Amino acid sequence: MNPSKVKKFTRAKNLDPTKVEEFINGAEPEDNAGVVQPAKQNSAPESITETKPSPSFGNSTPTSPLSTSPADDTAIPKYPWDDANDRVIKGVNLRLTEVQWAKLRFIVDNTPFSIQKYIMNLLEPAMEETIKKIQDALNRS
């Protein structure tokens, strides 16, 4: 690269000293004595601050999703998605061959679906069917 064409960094001139001071102080208001007062913290509503423990996955020993309540002897289904937040989006890396990718692109280019919507339309019923089979197998044992 030609050094003569490189612009040299220069400081901005004529900076307003009060604006510089506000920036340095984090734009927090000052009291009459010129002392910076910390900004008030907005408290979030309780519904936002409450969190549920996330389910643990990858346990080394498989367990039945049926748990019993201490109050009664009836089995209450308890699954990893019972406490999951439906608004939190998790990603997954789907590795496809070039042929599979070309087929997928052909489908979405010729239908009103996006890749995401197309895969979700196929995946959701398949997951529900597999869960039903697992539940049936657990209930038999």
pTM check: above 0.85: no
Average the pLDDT over 22-46 and give the result: 58
For 97, list phi and psi in degrees, rounded to 5: -75, 165
What six digits make up the tokens of 77?
Answer: 């289904």
CA 55 to CA 90: how far, in whole Å?
Answer: 14
| pLDDT (0 to 100) of residue 76 | 66
Burial of residue 65 (CB within 10 Å: 0-12, 13-18, 19+) is middle
Name the residue ranges covered by the structural domains of the chain.
94-141
String of DSSP letters for 128-139 = HHHHHHHHHHHH
Rounded Cα gap, residues 15 and 38, in angstroms:
25
Residue 75 in contact with residue 66, Cβ under 8 Å?
yes
Eight-class DSSP state of 35: P
Render pLDDT for 68-85 as a digit per residue (tens, 0 to 9). 445 555 556 688 888 899
* Amino acid in position 62: P
pLDDT tens digits, one per residue of 84-141: 999 999 999 999 999 999 999 999 999 999 999 999 999 999 999 999 999 999 898 7
